[in-house]
Amino acid sequence: MFEEFLSRTAPFVLALVQTTMTYWYPGVSEVIEVLRKFQPQAKIILGGNYVTLCPSHAKKLGADLLITADNLEPFWQFINITGDLNQPPLWKIYNRLNTSVLKLSDGCPFNCTYCSVPKVYGKFKPRSLRRALAELQLLLKLGAENIAFYDDALLYKANEVLTPFLEDILKRNIKVNLHTPNALNARFITSELAEVIVKAGFKTFYLGFESVSSQWQGSHFAISSKMGTRQATGSKVLSDELARAVEHLIAAGAAAGNITAYQILGHPAIDIQQLEASMRFVNRLGIRGMLADFSPIPGTPDGEFCRGFPKRKIMRLGNPRKYADLNEPLFHNNTAFPIILLGFNKTNSLKDLQRKLNRTLPK
């Protein structure tokens, strides 16, 4: 279909290509190959997380320009225009939207050791409230009934960013379903904020919860072995903070069945994480649990800790050999890494346990 589209399309000057996941690069390589075949005159601009996290690897794919992180200045220079970052995304190419996404900010103020957001998007930067409201109006005009926030720190400085946005929704009596697939920081959910977000139309709530382990939450332990030592990521959310956030949301009118707590599956410190105990703790709160597969992202402390060599037999946790060849992005695949670390049977047994726990909750 792509080749047919290119074959009947008039010659064009630029082709913009990007990918979020690094291990999707074979698809990027194929796209570039097909573009060269059917539109040889086009200059190919390659950007996205893959280029930012794996620049040396990305250079091998043969694009004319690589754009890393959110630095668009080389792009503006390449095409000789002045960029206008206040313009909304090109939502108008859709005749009608049912579901869409929105961001009120970029970046994140935290430095979780497994996360690439600070490297890709930098520190926390609020977007213009005026721009966000204008984009919301555009999405509604196109028919969007469900909007998911893709912010990485949606609740950070809520009084300055999120609350004014929601107050405008309430003031205008806008009816729309809002969702939070990116984990919310439960530490910031107060009773007042819970009331505002539920009243404004939030329907699903995903909360980040790494571990019930006091050792993990203390943030002072380190993962140690013959592979080296690295400081752990803990202290993001404490158990009582998660419980309190759930209480606030339910008291504000959120359905318990629409609240989910993320936990990491396949983290190198899984023995310290006490994953099964954490899953049961979440279940006792009366909310759903969801396992988020760990991915060893190059440039992050946890990812670098997992660096290894593909020609050697990959060994399990506790063995002096390391786990993955981070120079090959296919090893970043979060579906594969928990199996590399724990084995197929253990990985599946943990996922089965999560499903069983969720089935015990009221419908």
One DSSP character per residue, 7-46 reads HTSPP-SEEEEE-SSGGGHHHHHHHHHHHHHH-TT-EEEE
User: Positive or negative CA dihedral for 273, 350, 290, 341?
Assistant: positive
**Residue with tokens 């380190």, as numbered in its chain:** 222
Pairing type for strands 125-126 and 228-231 reads unpaired
pLDDT of residue 220: 41
User: Token pair for residue 289?
Assistant: 């649990």
Mean pLDDT for the chain overall: 89
Note the pLDDT of residue 218: 63
Q: Give the model's pLDDT for residue 324.
A: 80
The values of phi and psi at residue 15, to 5°, are -130, 120
- Record the tokens describing residue 338, joined without a space: 């928990």
In the structure encoding, which two tokens stand for residue 254, read together?
Answer: 């959120």
For residue 32, what pLDDT is reported? 98
CATH level 2 (architecture), domain 2-79: 3-Layer(aba) Sandwich (3.40)
CATH 3.80.30.20 domain locations along the chain: 91-359
pTM over 0.85: yes
Q: State the DSSP code for 123.
A: S
For 245, 251, 256, 283, 355, the CA distances from 361, given in Å and listed in that order, are 18, 18, 9, 8, 11
* Per-residue exposure over 329-360, b if at least 16 CB sit within 10 Å of its own CB, e if not: bebbbbebbbbbbbeeeebeebeebbeebbee
Residue 152: what pLDDT?
A: 94
The CATH class of the 91-359 domain is: alpha beta
Identify each DSSP E strand in the chain by its residue range: 14-18, 43-47, 65-66, 99-102, 105-106, 125-126, 146-149, 177-184, 202-208, 222-225, 228-231, 259-265, 288-293
Residues of the chain with CATH 3.40.50.280: 2-79
Which residues of the chain fall below pLDDT 50? Answer: 220-231, 234, 309-321
Expressed in percent and rounded to 5, the helix, strand and coil fractions of the chain are 40, 15, 40
Give me 203's structure tokens: 């329907």
- pLDDT score for 271: 79
Closest CA to 210 of 115, 343, 315, 316: 115
Pairing of strands 222-225, 228-231: antiparallel
